[in-house]
Amino acid sequence: MIDSRNSQTRVDPVCGQGSSGNPKKGRKLMKKEKHEKTTVTVRLTDDEDQVLKRLCTLKKMSKTSYLARLAKDQAKRELLNYAAEEYLAGKASLSELAKKTGLDVPSITDEVASIKGEDRRAVEAFLSAVETLSKLNKDPEFYNLAVNAVRE
């Protein structure tokens, strides 16, 4: 069945290609949309510019594309860190933080789990060191105090 809106021009409603058989006309409609861009000026010293040029030459990238990717990646890392810290401090829920940061909830929960895992490893290292000191000084109470302090 032909859509009445397209019956006069004989344009396929699925791919936008007319019956003239010119595939280039149809491809124009399927190209990726361009996103609006904002210009940001960065002032670099000559040394900083030379280092950036060398890196971009090695990576076969323009300075603009490298700095844009770097800024986006760093901003995302900082947003994740912010969201995880706010959640762990009990200042906001995951859904509130997702809305506020523009990140998805699973990304935030992964970051929270990563931070908690680092905390657990730090606690384990601390208790291991305290246990060693406790044995060396023949003071089991020292280790018990540390274990109780960690539980609180």
- 1 inside domain: no
pLDDT value at residue 91: 94
Structural domain contains residue 132: yes
Crossing angle, helix 94-101 and helix 63-88, to 10 degrees?
Answer: 160
Contact 110, 76 (CB under 8 A): no
pLDDT value for 58: 96
* 115 domain-assigned: yes
The answer to whether position 116 is within a domain reads yes
28 confidence band (pLDDT: 50, 70, 90): low
Domain, as residue range, for 119: 38-151
Asked whether 118 and 85 are in contact (CB, 8 A), the reply is no
pLDDT digits (tens, 9 = 90+) for 126-146: 888 888 998 999 998 988 888
Q: Please tell me the pTM assigned to this model.
A: 0.56
Rg (CA), the chain: 29
Look at 26 and 123; give whichever has higher pLDDT: 123
Q: Which two tokens stand for residue 80?
A: 């994740």
Distance CA 53, CA 70 (A): 15
Q: Is residue 28 one of the residues assigned to a domain?
A: no
What confidence score (pLDDT) does residue 31 get?
A: 63
Does a structural domain hold residue 80?
yes
Question: What total of structural domains would you count in the chain?
Answer: 1
pLDDT digits (tens, 9 = 90+) for 82-109: 999 999 899 999 899 999 999 999 899 8
**Cα gap 26→11, rounded to integer Å:** 10
pLDDT for 29-82, tens place per residue? Answer: 556 677 888 999 999 999 999 999 999 999 999 999 999 999 999 999 999 999
Quick check: is 3 in a domain? no
Q: Is residue 75 part of a domain?
A: yes
